[in-house]
Amino acid sequence: MARLSQKLFSPRLRQFGHILPFNVFVWILLLFYLSPVFFIIVTAMKPTEQLTDRNSPLYPASMVRYEYQGREYPLYHVPTEAGIQQWALIKPRRATSEFIDPQHPESGPIQWQGSWRTLKRVYQFHIAWENFTVLFKSLLFPRMFLSTSLMTLIGEIAVLTSSIVVAYGFSRFSLPGGNLLFYILIATILIPEKVTFIPSYFVYVNYLHWRGTFLPILLPLFFGNAVYIFLLRQNFKSIPVDLEEAAMLDGAGPLQRLFYVILPQSWPVVITVSLLYFFYSWNEIREVSLYLGSNIKLMPLSYGVQTYQSFTPIQNLIEASTIVVLAVPVILLFLFQRFFLQGLVITGMEEGTSSGV
């Protein structure tokens, strides 16, 4: 018996059978985990008339109507003696309503006993692309895209450059005070923003009059971000020093070594950090609302859409605008997935702190 099964199932197939249940489980979990994303996509495509109807289908669909004597009437599923018919409701009344049968309009209105409110409407599949047209008419997307892109691009360059240089300093050079400065770096990650926010806010707004400019948001980025410095440093530390020593013997200075030896080996973590900043900056609304809120010209995408959503209690438009905000980050996530998903290595914390170049 065992022999037979061995003959029937090749090793590869048996291996597949071994991993299949696991993969099916992961896919089910993934479907569940992504259901909010599907909800966003499907809701964004729904016509508004479908939203308030509990009995409407889950897919995007519009109500079917029938034109009778120059006017449009909605179709309902009506239970009759001849099974459920799709009739158009002409005169809705409490006890009896008048319907018309679209197949035989010539036979005139039909009286139906019962409350029409209990009936279900007839729907047909329909994607409401007009949601997006409405959005593009009511929001200045090109300008908001430009503002967000500009802010994110400048911030990205600033925070990446400074964090990389500082991380290099932390990873390869023994600093005065030993590890003390590094511990201070970690400590700054933990400081609640509120305690530094109050004085900074008043300096920016009341003394420097920077409200309505990008400056209060962008300026701190030129001085590095503690989390990014930490992540980059851990990665730089895992690169062997031999190559760098060789480069040093050839007369390469510290910055040259950083650019020609360290960076070419650290693309995954550099890309990960820059994507993390990108997602942060693209979606950020707290700082933006505090400092840019008054300046409509520089209104970034996230803040514009958030404001729109808070004044538009219509779920399909809300989700459609969410898709507009999400589009660019999702594209970047898929483009760079190969680098991004190698994971962030943070172990090897104290390794070789004393061995500088």
Instruction: Report the site for other proteins in 134-173 (rule: CB under 8 A).
Output: 162, 165-166, 168-170, 172-173
How far apart, in whole angstroms, are the C-alpha atoms of residue 140 and residue 143?
6
Which residue from 1, 4, 36, 106 is in contact with other proteins, where contact means CB under 8 A?
A: 36
Q: Which is nearer to other proteins, 100 or 167 (CB)?
A: 167
Q: Which residue has the tokens 């809705």?
A: 92
CA dihedral 77→78→82→88, nearest 10 degrees, is -80
**By CB under 8 A, is residue 19 in contact with other proteins?**
yes
CB of 202 to other proteins, least distance (A): 7
Tokens coding 158: 């600033």
Which residue from 62, 188, 213, 265 is in contact with other proteins, where contact means CB under 8 A?
A: 188
Q: Which is nearer to other proteins, 82 or 198 (CB)?
A: 198
Q: Which residue has the tokens 């172990």?
A: 347
Which residue from 37, 84, 157, 331 is in contact with other proteins, where contact means CB under 8 A?
A: 37
DSSP symbols for 194-208: HHHHHHHHHIIIIIS
DSSP code at position 314: -
Near other proteins in 260-319, by CB under 8 A: 272, 276, 279-280, 282-286, 289, 302, 305-306, 309-310, 315, 318-319
77, 122 in Cβ contact below 8 A?
A: yes
Interface pattern 201-240 for other proteins (x via CB under 8 A) = xx-----------------x-xxxxxx-x-----------
DSSP symbols for 67-83: EETTEEEEEEEEEETTE
229, 163 in Cβ contact below 8 A?
A: yes
Near other proteins in 90-119, by CB under 8 A: none
Q: Which is nearer to other proteins, 37 or 84 (CB)?
A: 37
Helices (H), strands (E): how many in the chain?
16, 8
Q: Which is nearer to other proteins, 6 or 196 (CB)?
A: 196
299, 147 in Cβ contact below 8 A?
A: yes
159: exposed, middle or buried (Cβ count in 10 Å: 0-12, 13-18, 19+): buried
**By CB under 8 A, is residue 181 in contact with other proteins?**
yes
Q: Which is nearer to other proteins, 98 or 257 (CB)?
A: 257
Q: Which is nearer to other proteins, 78 or 320 (CB)?
A: 320
- What's the full length of the chain, in residues? 357
Tokens coding 182: 């590094």
Near other proteins in 328-357, by CB under 8 A: 329-330, 333-334, 337-338, 340-351, 354, 356-357
Q: Which is nearer to other proteins, 97 or 171 (CB)?
A: 171
CB of 312 to other proteins, least distance (A): 10
- Which one of the spans 26-34, 85-93, 259-267, 291-299 is the region binding other proteins (CB under 8 A)? 26-34
